[in-house]
Amino acid sequence: MTATNTLRLAYGTNGLTDLRLADALALLSDLGYDGVALTLDHMHLDPLAPDLASRTGQLARRLGALDLYVAVETGARYVLDPRRKHHPTLLDPDPDARTARIDLLRTAIRVAADLGATAVHCFSGPRPAGTPEAVAWQRLADALTPVLDAAATARIPLAVEPEPGHLLSDLVGFHRLRATLDAPPADVLGLTLDIGHCQCLEPEPPAACVRATAPWLRHVQIEDMRRGVHEHLPFGAGEIDFPPVLAALRDTGYQGLVSVELPRHSHAGPDLARTSLSFLRATEPAYTATTTGTNIAPGPPRPAARTPEPAGATAPPHPPVPSAGGPRC
């Protein structure tokens, strides 16, 4: 019996920052994308501006009209601090600064619930200078605890991304976090797997990473990349063998979004959105899954948005990668 699990392809709005959000959504719908990975930021859906609930409701209706799935991402560079990229983090020595990031993540979960999103993405941040490693891991777990409580209540998975240069930089780190938190269910604490990051620093090939993490996989980012260099590249400009990656995603029954992640290419966003979708759709059919006596379900329909309510305020060795100040998201 032959069955296919068609992947839901999306494009990240952090690669379309030169477009208004309405124009970006219309572009992705016209091109034939299945969804969008929405980065909460000032140029699109600003999580700190007034009337967030009302603006979220308008967006939910627009996504429904365009029949687009959505995941919510929280990797905006300067959304909380206009002078320091990605600050503050969940590891900041200042408790008030950590609280600002925690509050942003809880806001993202409310937004995701109102949009009927598939997941909320986040990351740990780099370990601050002078902070012992064990202290940093416990600080991360403590900071995420209220966020995970909110995720469980909203029934929206929080999907943590291993990020080169961060405390939680790899899949070993993801499992260390899970152990520190007493192994929350995957629908509460899940994984964002960046395929390029696997190529950059994981000991196994990207397709093997997909298969190994399938039970926890709730969000996927995809782009090309080279071994040991953390630089997001258009498809064909790096070293990744993509057909096995797409096959692994489909064969394991992954049902979330597979989102193109090119945050440094917004100047060419419309063209790259078009060519990226063509590349992925052309690559995918070569690896149609064939099974015997198994039905791979096509997956659920796009989750319905709800009526928004007002929001209250020791690891394997890696190749060298750039430090937190080098090329990255």
Helix (H/G/I), strand (E/B), else coil: 329: coil
- What does the pLDDT look like over 15-72, one tens digit per residue? 999 999 999 999 999 999 999 999 999 999 999 999 999 999 999 999 999 999 999 9
| Cα 322 from Cα 329, distance rounded (Å) | 12
pLDDT at 241: 97
Q: What is the CATH number of domain 8-283?
A: 3.20.20.150
pLDDT one-digit tens code per residue, 245-281: 999 999 999 999 999 999 988 789 999 999 999 999 9
pTM score, whole prediction: 0.88
| Residue 312 CB contacts under 8 Å (≥ 6 apart), including other chains | none
| Exposed/middle/buried for residue 230 (C-beta within 10 Å: 0-12, 13-18, 19+) | buried
Tokens of 267: 């100047």
How many CB atoms within 10 Å of residue 82? 9
The pLDDT tens digits for 87-131 are 999 999 999 999 999 999 999 999 999 999 999 999 999 999 999
269-294 mean pLDDT:
75
CA distances, 216 to each of 35, 76, 94, 210, 266 (Å): 21, 24, 31, 10, 30
